[in-house]
Chains A and B, each alone.
Chain A
Amino acid sequence: MKKSYIIIVFALGLILSGCFSRDDDYYNRNVRLSITDAVLFNTKKEYLIGDTLVFELKFSRYLKEEGFTTLLDIFETTESEQFGYNFGVSKFSGFSNTFERINIDQQFILGARTDEGYSSYYGGSMAALIDADKQGYTSKVGIVLVEAGRFKIDMDFFTLHSGNGYDFENRQVDVEIEHNQTPENEMEAEFTVTEN
């Protein structure tokens, strides 16, 4: 009878304590969001060598966050006037019968860039800048086409960073936005370059 008291007290302590465990999200200094099909590709699909292909990345400063009914104001949260990101270009290879990633010299890429600290930390270089009316962010990118072939701009999965994460003296909240692409939007990313 006496032992049962002890067992009950011990079990009660465990139960009461275990009910109030906390999520292990201590390391989170940043907020993660996601957007879909934020890249607008040119409807033109046929180019000549020497042409410039242009695409645009646009997203609102007010984004949906999972688990919340109100939109998140990423500009007020981060106070960041730019979000940096990376994109890739692939060229179709007849040998492998698939698109293979190629490197493009920076001189052939036109558009706003992030600062050196950002690019060295994240490896990204393109910048989506806050619009004049401060309602959204836009990145307009041009690629000077100097090679013939069938190409694709790889925007199916990349992350935009507010840039507050690498500067530990900066006490602003860091926001990461994951960009996803639907198959339809991915098809629009393909284009062909032919010689004159």
Chain B
Amino acid sequence: MRKSVIYFLCFLIAIYAAMGQEESEAKIFRNQVSTNILLPIFESVDLSYERTLGKKFAFGIAGAIYGERIEEISVDDEYNELDLRTRYEIMPFGRIYFGGNQNRSHFLEVFGSLSGVDETGRLVRSDNDQGFGVYDFGTESYVRGGLGVGYGYRFLFLENKLAVEAQFGLRTNFDINFLVLNAALVRTGIKIGYRF
């Protein structure tokens, strides 16, 4: 047990020392691609590209494909007898970094969202064999817009080439009651990124 603690402390010291060295030899990379390593747990995957502008600002675009389990971290999966399932999402975003140094810093993010949604339990009109319209409860797919904010913390390792981010993001959409009922945890998790 004691050995384990000593090894762990040595590991932390080694990382800290490496980061100190990185600070003195820091290179500036303006492009970053990253992915959320927690999303696969929810049968989903995402990819982000970020372009840094100056020292504090960055913008980028992200895309995500969601599996069924993403509903476990969403509160808009059921709404007034309608089952909602977000299948994919495209998110342009802007970031501002603050309160840190070259290797670690807080950031705030604002992002837009275009998401493809399957809505089950909705009235759907189709034509029968005789050419007359008939309604039934079915699934309708559509694209909806939204807006989100996020907060996170970023570490840079390996001469600033490796980025590790912890982020919390909340996105609403522009449907009715969007302020509360249709919120979802988006761009939330631990991200690993490569900078170049």
Contacts and interface: CB of A to CB of B under 8 A. Distances in A.
Interface of A: 2-3, 5-6, 9-10, 12-14, 16-22, 24, 26-29, 31, 62, 65, 68, 70-73, 76-77, 171, 173, 175
A12 B93 CA distance: 10
B145 A21 contact: yes
Interface string B44-57: 00000000011001
Given A70-B127, A171-B137, A17 B94 contact: no
Given A26-B82, A27-B80, A29-B123, A21 B144 contact: yes
Interface in B122-154: 123, 125, 127-128, 130-137, 142-147
B34 interface: no
Contact of A71 (B80, B113, B132, B137): B132
Given A10-B94, A17-B146, A18-B145, A173 B123 contact: yes
Contacts, number: 104
A9 B135 contact: no
B123 A17 contact: no
A77 B127 CA distance: 11
A102 B186 CA distance: 61
**Would you call the interface of chain B mostly helix, strand, loop, or mixed?**
strand
B175 A22 contact: yes
Given A5-B57, A17-B114, A173 B135 contact: yes
B114 A20 contact: yes
What are the nearest 10 A-B pairs in CB distance? Answer: A13-B112, A17-B145, A20-B145, A73-B132, A9-B94, A21-B174, A24-B176, A72-B133, A9-B59, A17-B112
Contacts of A5: 53, 57, 59, 94
Band of interface residues on B? 35 or more
Nearest to B117: A22
B80 A13 contact: no
Interface of B: 53-54, 57, 59, 79-82, 92-94, 96, 110-114, 123, 125, 127-128, 130-137, 142-147, 173-176
A6 B145 contact: no
A6 B95 CA distance: 8
Contact of A13 (B57, B82, B110, B135): B110
B94 to A, nearest CB: 4
Contacts of A62: 132
Contacts of A14: 112, 147
A28 B112 contact: no
Contact of B176 (A26, A68, A70): A26
